[in-house]
Structure 1
Amino acid sequence: MAYTGLPVATRHKVAQAFLIASLCAAALQVQAACTVPADLARQLRATPDARTHAALGTWYADHQQFGCAVDSFRKVTTLEPNSAHYEYLLGLSLSADGQFAAAVEPLRLSLRLDPDATQTHLLLGTALDHGNDRNAAELEWRLALAREPTSALALESLSRDLLADRNYSGVMALLGPPDASGRLTDTLALDLAAAMSHSGLPEDAARLLQKKLAANPASLQLAEALSGVLMLESRFQDAVAALSAAASQHPQDVQAQLLLLQTLVLARDPGAEALGQKLLLSAPAQWELLYFMGLLHQQQDDYAAARDYLRRSIAAKPGNAEAHYRLGMVYGSLKDESAARQELEQSIALGLDTPEVHFALAKALRTMGDMPAAQQQITLYQEKLKAQAARAQAADKAQQGDQAAAAGNLQQCIADYREALALDPHEPVLAYKLAMALDKAGDPAGERAALQQAVALDAHMAVALNQLGYLDASDGDAADAARYFELAVAADPGFGKAWMNLAASLCLQSKWADAREALHHVTALGGNDAGARALLQQIDAMEQPARP
């Protein structure tokens, strides 16, 4: 695939597709020697300039010799050092060769030479993501979107990174509102639905996924996501119906059939047994299949069969904590308390820390006569059950607070959020909601306390950090305000409002150069251009020498 000759509007899409394909190919072959083809060798002897070396680099890339392409484009950038295009091609070659860290520098240089190149922002974001620098990658996705707001690659990459950061409100702001689902790709709809579910909006997530599945009924991903949301709402038969329709169109897809089996088992649907036995004929050692069959036979009180299936599942995948827990429960039903204790303790050691596992272990220990250990597990059970109930009550109270806010009942809203936070004091979103309600009520001291609690729980909550900066700025403390705004943009480099606030606070300290740099971020992100331009004009006026 050639690097040149493509329309600018589509070049970045082709480059990304090329990058993915080339990485796969690179994993399957040993790098060939950098042999120059005869026609290009003649051209190099006649005209050894940047253009000819670039043609050689492109030839190497087309033949998936990416290391050789890197060498050629390094030569090109030496011969023509101030070309954004050639620096981009070097970065692309390095990325295709798997050298993502090395690709960052030429791509950044390319952007300094040509800041508006959408494809370069996209490729740099990809390289930064591979280097686990999500914050910097998110900025590149936002800069790309400022130039091309409908870029599917930038939207999907940014939403993926925001989900990885558990920034669910950021995903909803990026992709919402849900009634605009027709413009979303399936991947973006899945991301938005995940953010909604994590934000306590499963009904909205289900409606979104139902619309997308109606438009693409063969999509297993959409059906899987929808069934998961419906199961969370205890709509078991609806989940079975959603998944059955998609799985029937993919009868040879083992994972689709396993997912359907899981849903049937959890829904206690009588069709689970027949499907499970059918799948066992072709995949008798598949650990998930064996686990679900064990769970199915446990539901049927067939404990001997459940034990055998679960043992085989654990033999295939020893680290499955849920399987150890289920096997422990089965051993308890079979009156083998020693084996039950061993499996339950193993499930806890593997990370399963629910109230139920501690209760089951307490029961086994009590039967064995180890009363002190049993009491310790009962205490843990009670603590975790209390915390679980408190979180559920907090979610209900927070929802009541949302409803009170929507109805304009500010005092009731504040009371509900306070009660929710008291029930679940480790949830930063509740503290932030309370802070914003107190802001509307004109209680800056209470707002500050709630915001400080939010950032103590989540040091990367950019909106809370920005609001703390705003409070300091309102108090006339520009230096502390700037510190909070800097923390906000470090947590979310695409937060244009925080960049604008940072610029203003820096101006108040006469830090003109730093303020100008912050404003460049505002304009690059496509936000508040008029305000940024006005502030830049003020900075220019302040920096002009006074006339004698």
Structure 2
Amino acid sequence: MSQKNPALAAKEFAAVVALDPNNIDAQANLGVLLFFQKDYAQAEPHLRKAVEQQPELTKIRALLGMCERNLGENDLARTDLQAVVDQLKEPSVRLEAGLELIELYTAAQELPKAAAVVEVLRAGAPTDPRILYAAYRIYSDLSGEALLDLSVAAPNSGQMHQAMAHELNRIGNTSGVIADLRKAIAIDPTLPGIHFELAEALRASSDLKLRAEAEQEYKLAVAANSRDEKAISRLGDIAVEKDDFDGATTYYKRALALVPGDADATLGLAHVYIEKDQSAAALPLLEPLVAADPTNVLAHYRLSTAYRKLKRPADAKREMDAYQKYKGIKEKLGAVYKDMRLENPQDEPDK
């Protein structure tokens, strides 16, 4: 067959099909050639014939589904694509088939099904921008849909105010976040995680009086859930701010006993050791942390400080270079967040 000349090859496969309509290879190859020539109307019957005779031809069925989509046969396209998308081995075909199926599900407002396909695609290509954008769009739509449902079903609930606080947090309206979380607590103080959320918002405030209220909310969070390692770790941070290093150590170790390797508690305890001139004790905490997450800006900074105090200048420079590198990346992301009117999370070290 003239495989380097698609038009001639198509004619040859067509001749074989005319003589033997049940020749699966010829039907499939002819359908594939016509598909990639964008002759969907001619490709569709050949692809269908091949699939009818051999349903396990997943790639051919995927091409059939995409062919049907281009011909406006959306119900057929959906049936064929959803049958094979998670079985496709060839990355490019899986991606194209998956994106087509996502569009079909999205158009039908079947967002959970679209989200499931996104996860299939992300497993094979976690950094592909087309997949990541599809994920962003679908999860944003799901979030908006859930918020609308909540506003209709329970407009005066604590959960509604909690959700409103999350939306306000996205645009950096800290005072609005605090106000809505206080309303949520007034309605239902037993909402899971509500005291921690309020504490985080208070701690992010520029008002020193409000910041001072955060400690009590963290304590309420721990009282409500004694295994809340994040709240316990934050109490350690507050103890450090008061130069209560012994108290901070107790909090951080308690958090690490609950969740070994917790990044916040690990960073906090390492910071205490460095401040107490016990930098050697900080290394077993920080070195695994940067190995597990090389993008952790604060971990690189503190590890550099520990190396410097231990008179290891080459190691200190390496970590400071890494700190500067990832700090620059985070600052660029911060500019993107600002353009999108999203709050930029702060991870600057205490210098």
TM-score range for the pair, normalised by the shorter chain length:
0.5 to 0.7
**How far is 1:221 from its partner?**
8.2
Distance 1:274 1:289, change over 3 A: same
**2:305 alignment partner, one of 345, 353, 363:** 363
Q: Does 1:140 align with 2:101?
A: yes
Q: Answer yes or no: is the 8 Å Cα contact 2:150–2:160 preserved in 1.
A: no
**How far is 1:229 from its partner?**
6.2
Percent identical across equivalent pairs?
17
Superposed, which structure 2 residues align to 1:1-16 within 5 Å?
Answer: none
Distance 1:155 1:391, change over 3 A: closer
The match for 1:290 is 232
The match for 2:27 is none
Q: Deviations for 1:352-406, whole angstroms, at most 9, x for unmatched residues?
A: 534433222222222222233223323333344445456657888x99xxxxxxx
Secondary structure (helix, strand or coil) at the match of 1:353 reads: coil
The match for 2:109 is 152
**How far is 1:309 from its partner?**
1.4
Q: Following the alignment from structure 2 to structure 1, what is the Cα–Cα distance between the partners of residues 88 and 185?
A: 37
**2:180 alignment partner, one of 242, 248, 253:** 242
Which amino acid is 2:199 matched to?
Answer: L
Secondary structure (helix, strand or coil) at the match of 2:110 reads: helix
The match for 1:261 is 199
Q: Following the alignment from structure 2 to structure 1, what is the Cα–Cα distance between the partners of residues 160 and 79?
A: 25
Secondary structure (helix, strand or coil) at the match of 1:254 reads: coil
The match for 1:377 is 319
Q: Answer yes or no: is the 8 Å Cα contact 2:161–2:181 preserved in 1.
A: no
- Unmatched 5+ residue regions in structure 2? 1-55, 123-127, 341-351
Which amino acid is 2:114 matched to?
Answer: S
Q: Following the alignment from structure 1 to structure 2, what is the Cα–Cα distance between the partners of residues 269 and 124?
A: 53
Distance 1:337 1:158, change over 3 A: closer
The match for 2:264 is 322
Q: Answer yes or no: is the 8 Å Cα contact 1:239–1:263 preserved in 2.
A: yes
Which amino acid is 1:328 matched to?
Answer: A
Q: Answer yes or no: is the 8 Å Cα contact 1:247–1:260 preserved in 2.
A: no
The match for 1:189 is 144
**How far is 1:139 from its partner?**
1.8
**1:161 alignment partner, one of 118, 123, 129:** 118
Q: Does 1:273 align with 2:205?
A: no
TM-score, structure 2 normalization: 0.55
Q: Answer yes or no: is the 8 Å Cα contact 2:270–2:282 preserved in 1.
A: yes
Which amino acid is 1:157 matched to?
Answer: A
Q: Answer yes or no: is the 8 Å Cα contact 1:338–1:364 preserved in 2.
A: yes
Alignment root-mean-square deviation, CA: 5.1
Q: Following the alignment from structure 1 to structure 2, what is the Cα–Cα distance between the partners of residues 371 and 388?
A: 25
Which amino acid is 1:138 matched to?
Answer: L
Q: Answer yes or no: is the 8 Å Cα contact 1:324–1:346 preserved in 2.
A: no
Distance 1:189 1:333, change over 3 A: same
Q: Following the alignment from structure 1 to structure 2, what is the Cα–Cα distance between the partners of residues 117 and 259?
A: 44
Q: Following the alignment from structure 2 to structure 1, what is the Cα–Cα distance between the partners of residues 81 and 189?
A: 40
Q: Following the alignment from structure 2 to structure 1, what is the Cα–Cα distance between the partners of residues 98 and 259?
A: 35
Superposed, which structure 2 residues align to 1:189-228 within 5 Å?
Answer: 189=144, 217=155, 218=157, 220=159, 223=162, 227=165
**How far is 1:351 from its partner?**
0.5
Q: Deviations for 1:404-453, whole angstroms, at most 9, x for unmatched residues?
A: xxxxxxxxxxxxxxxxxxxxxxxxxxxxxxxxxxxxxxxxxxxxxxxxxx
Q: Answer yes or no: is the 8 Å Cα contact 1:273–1:296 preserved in 2.
A: yes
- Unmatched 5+ residue regions in structure 1? 1-101, 176-183, 192-208, 400-548
Secondary structure (helix, strand or coil) at the match of 1:152 reads: coil
**How far is 1:307 from its partner?**
1.7
**How far is 1:123 from its partner?**
10
Superposed, which structure 2 residues align to 1:105-504 within 5 Å?
Answer: 118=75, 121=78, 125=82, 128=85, 135-144=96-105, 149=107, 151-154=108-111, 157=114, 161=118, 166-167=129-130, 187-189=142-144, 217=155, 218=157, 220=159, 223=162, 227=165, 230-231=168-169, 234-267=172-205, 269-389=211-331
Distance 1:253 1:190, change over 3 A: same
Q: Answer yes or no: is the 8 Å Cα contact 1:306–1:330 preserved in 2.
A: yes
What count of residue pairs does the alignment treat as equivalent? Answer: 267
Q: Following the alignment from structure 1 to structure 2, what is the Cα–Cα distance between the partners of residues 126 and 320?
A: 41
Q: Deviations for 1:475-512, whole angstroms, at most 9, x for unmatched residues?
A: xxxxxxxxxxxxxxxxxxxxxxxxxxxxxxxxxxxxxx
Q: Following the alignment from structure 2 to structure 1, what is the Cα–Cα distance between the partners of residues 275 and 87?
A: 48
Q: Following the alignment from structure 1 to structure 2, what is the Cα–Cα distance between the partners of residues 144 and 156?
A: 7
